Chains A and B, each alone.
Chain A
Amino acid sequence: MSLSRVATAPKAGMRLVAVIPMRASSTVATTPATGEEQPGYFQKIALRFKGIPLPSETHAPKSLFDDIGKQFVPPEPLPKVPKDYKEHPERDLVNYPYPERPTFEPKTRLLMVPDSWCTPFHKITGTSGPYLFYGGLFAFLLNKELWVFEEQGHMLVGWIIFYLLVKNGFGYKIDQSLYKAYQERVDYFKNLIKEDLKEAVEFRKNSAAETDALKAVQENFPTIFKENMALQLEATYRKNVDTVATELKRRLDYLQETEATKQRFERDLLLKLISEGVQKQIETNQGDIKDAYLDNCISQLKNLSTSS
């Protein structure tokens, strides 16, 4: 590609300096195109790399590569062991402190050399000291063939690159899942402990309730037994009283009933006698009762007619 399109016309006598603006995906515009302008092919790729949603999307799609280069940090740090915690009263905490599990692995330089092996150099040689020392040591060992760089050694480069790729690409997800599994294991043990303690507390509660119940039983049940027996006696007595009263009532009712029946019969008989006698007298006209009755009726009629 000719550079003439980027170079301005040189002045006379000036050295030709080509100004090549560096174009890389990182210098592409970060904001998505406006509604009318659709991003180009390479712009879309750049947006995808950055995790920026395209104009037609509300959010960027979830991808395998979202977590590249991320470092997983546990959301909660491990609980602290109390400073004065002793497994046994004679434990010497000064010389033998409790070996707490650290949340993060010790720091390393270049993934190989522990930081604690490097920092003593700083006072004497400065910050470059450890690298020079260990680099020089490696060079010495290599040169004198004390550590032989054998023919499979070339694979080391590949393996290191492979390890770095896996760590940066999938390290986050691996750490996340391992942390989750670890938390589940810890929670399992914590549940066992909680159940043990819960049993102890429940036992105390239940046994206290049972003690109180037995005390209540001791206080009340003898009274209840005696009361039940007394009530049973009273009930039996009242039943007997009721029986006697019922029997007497039956006899008195019988007498009253018979007397009433007798009186009713006498009344009915008398009524019948009287009515039959009167009827017979009327039929046989005994003592001219009909004539007398008629005369009585005529005189009454006469009285009625005179009064009206």
Chain B
Amino acid sequence: MSQAAKRVATTSVNWQKLSERLTAQHVPELQRLKGLNSTFSGVVNSLPADLPKIDFAALKQKLPTHAALLDSLQKQYESLKIPYGTIPEDYNKEINKWIEYNTARAKLHELKTADGAVEANKVEEKWAKAPPVEHFERQHFVEYFPTLFYDLRYQKRIPDPCEIGLNDTDQLEARFRDYKVLRRADKVDDH
């Protein structure tokens, strides 16, 4: 792997355009990634890319007494190879896993959108089919506002003048379905 080909020093992502496209749900993640990117970019931009060139010949002329020391320093400096390193393969695999996760997330969102669109269509069709509110008949109020009106012709409702919610569940009806109240334990049938 050659060092020059793989080296990255600038960002290729248009952060502004990306942030405009994302919704509020994704903003924290984007901010975190942007922070990391700017931190590393800051370090990269503030430091030089390669080792500086030192003129050892001039130094040797300037400091003839330390010629041997300068020689050895020069040898060490020129033979030094700082390894660039590679990104561990596991991290790239993590990226692939993330891509799978995001694909699944997008698919779930599509399913939710489809279901929601069906519901939204139902709602819009319902109100398109309805007559104007001023011309509602009695059965229309029950049909279009079921939480506000009821029809005793086909609904079994217990009188609830104080609106404590007796008709919200069928618990009472289920409890007293056959009109039998709770017998006390010591009640007998023979007398």
Asked whether A234 and B37 contact (CB < 8 A) given A204-B117, A222-B95, the answer is no
Determine if A248 is an interface residue (Cβ-Cβ < 8 Å).
yes
Interchain CA distance A211-B91 in the complex, whole Å? 27
Determine if B173 is an interface residue (Cβ-Cβ < 8 Å).
no
Q: Determine if B22 and A217 form an interchain contact, defined as CB atoms under 8 angstroms apart.
A: yes
Which secondary structure characterizes the binding site on chain B? helix
Interchain CA distance A238-B132 in the complex, whole Å? 73
Determine if A100 is an interface residue (Cβ-Cβ < 8 Å).
yes
Q: Determine if B48 and A238 form an interchain contact, defined as CB atoms under 8 angstroms apart.
A: yes
Number of chain B residues close to chain A: CB under 8 A? 73
Asked whether A189 and B145 contact (CB < 8 A) given A81-B131, A211-B109, A237-B85, the answer is yes
Q: Determine if A228 and B36 form an interchain contact, defined as CB atoms under 8 angstroms apart.
A: yes
Interchain CA distance A100-B103 in the complex, whole Å? 54
* B-contacting residues, A178-228, CB 8 Å: 186, 189-190, 192-193, 196-197, 199-201, 203-204, 206-218, 220-228
Q: Determine if B50 and A241 form an interchain contact, defined as CB atoms under 8 angstroms apart.
A: yes
Asked whether A230 and B6 contact (CB < 8 A) given A213-B23, A235-B44, the answer is yes
Number of chain A residues close to chain B: CB under 8 A? 65
**Complex interface: chain A residues within 8 A of B36 (CB):** 228, 232
Determine if B188 is an interface residue (Cβ-Cβ < 8 Å).
no
Q: Determine if A245 and B102 form an interchain contact, defined as CB atoms under 8 angstroms apart.
A: no
Interchain CA distance A192-B123 in the complex, whole Å? 12
Asked whether A245 and B65 contact (CB < 8 A) given A81-B131, A223-B12, the answer is no
**A242 nearest CB neighbor, chain B only:** B47
* B-contacting residues, A233-274, CB 8 Å: 233-242, 244-245, 248, 251-252, 255-256, 259
Instruction: List chain B positions with a Cβ less than 8 A from chain A.
Output: 6-9, 11-13, 18, 21-23, 25-26, 33, 36-37, 40-41, 43-44, 47-52, 54, 59, 62-63, 65-66, 69-70, 73, 77, 80, 82, 84-87, 91-92, 95, 98-99, 102-103, 105-106, 109-110, 112-113, 116-117, 119-121, 123-124, 127, 129-137, 145
Known A228-B40, A234-B8, A259-B65; 15 more pairs at CB < 8 Å: A78-B135, A79-B135, A87-B131, A186-B134, A199-B120, A211-B106, A212-B21, A213-B25, A216-B18, A217-B26, A231-B41, A240-B82, A245-B48, A255-B69, A259-B63
Instruction: List chain A positions with a Cβ less than 8 A from chain B.
Output: 78-79, 81, 85, 87, 98-101, 186, 189-190, 192-193, 196-197, 199-201, 203-204, 206-218, 220-242, 244-245, 248, 251-252, 255-256, 259
